[in-house]
A and B are shown apart, each in its own frame.
Chain A
Amino acid sequence: MVFAVLVALGTLVYNIATKTTSDTLTAEVHWNTTSGELLQKISGNNADELNDYLEKAIVITGELENVSKINGEKTLLLKNDGFKAKILCELQKNQSDEVAILKVGDTLKIKGIYKGHLLDAILLNCIILERNQP
């Protein structure tokens, strides 16, 4: 009995310690927005409102400006609708097939984990939910 409990505890500790980052697909969505609305908040006086979404999944609809590949990681840049800021969505590693068919100007619906902003809004572990060609 004691041995079984120890094994169960050991397994639990091992699983917690070795757990990799969770899949964004299953994360609860806390905000469904557009690139324009997000950038307006960042560029305006109400950027602090975005703190409510830190480390949470949000969904953004916007137009693709560029795909960058740095250090093996692919990042989508969404058009800035006239704002100086941009939206940077670093993709989850399993998105290679989806990103291969993207074209500049596509309207994308992206889900990612909001990390905050510097000049630009930064999301990590992004996945592409929908793609509409112009």
Chain B
Amino acid sequence: MIKNLFLVFTLIFILKANEQKFIARQGQITFFSYTTVENIEATNNQVLSIFNPESSEIAVSILMRAFNFEKALMHEHFNESYVESDLFPQATFEGTIINFDAKSEAIQTRLVKGNFTLKDITKEIEFKAQIARNKKQNSYIITGKIKLQRDDYNIKVPAMLRPNIAKNIEVSFNFQYEPYED
């Protein structure tokens, strides 16, 4: 319930002004862990994001259980041991795109700064993103990559499995936004 309230407050924060907002109900996030032992990849195609081009604010909410893994055992370890989805069902990001021009139709590569929260641990992060506006369809696409440190978010990996999980996790994202009718 507390997590849901957080989501509602986040959305209120970003929807505060009477401006056109955009929603991606099916954003994609893929994470990659590369090690010499094995490569692990999982994708979540149901990530929620709200984008306000006028204020350059962006909010993202990720349901941790909704990642697809190739192997059932990887899915089980991820949810039960590493991210503890029962206790921390969502990860969130709230941030701002720096120097974003809402009126430009050119693809803009911009720095995004904000707070990423996973397992109740919030860290300030910044990363590059590409923002494309399709004026005709009144839509936006935001894509990019982030590197997250496994140890920053209290992800405990048993000693035996440490060689299997990278310390730096590469995360790529792709959000396709359409107008959000409030």
Binding site for B on A (CB under 8 A): 16-22, 47-48, 54-55, 68, 70-71, 73, 75, 86, 88, 90, 115-120, 122, 124
Contact = CB atoms under 8 A, between A and B. Distances in A.
B66 A115 contact: yes
Chain A contact residues, majority secondary structure: mixed
Given A21-B72, A119-B25, A120-B48, 11 more contacts: A17-B73, A47-B4, A70-B45, A75-B45, A117-B63, A118-B7, A118-B63, A120-B46, A122-B63, A122-B66, A124-B46
A70 B28 CA distance: 8
Contacts of B45: 70-71, 73, 75, 90
Contacts of B179: none
Interface residues of B, number: 25
B72 A19 contact: yes
Chain B contact residues, majority secondary structure: strand
Contacts of B75: 21
Contacts of A90: 45-46, 68
A118 B61 contact: yes
A18 B174 CA distance: 29
Nearest to B25: A120
Given A86-B25, A118-B7, A18 B46 contact: no
Interface in B21-49: 25-26, 28, 43, 45-46, 48
B153 interface: no
A54 B80 CA distance: 13
A88 B25 contact: yes
A109 B140 CA distance: 33
Given A17-B71, A20-B72, A75 B48 contact: no
A75 B90 CA distance: 21
Nearest to A42: B4
A22 B75 CA distance: 12
A119 to B, nearest CB: 6
A16 B65 CA distance: 20
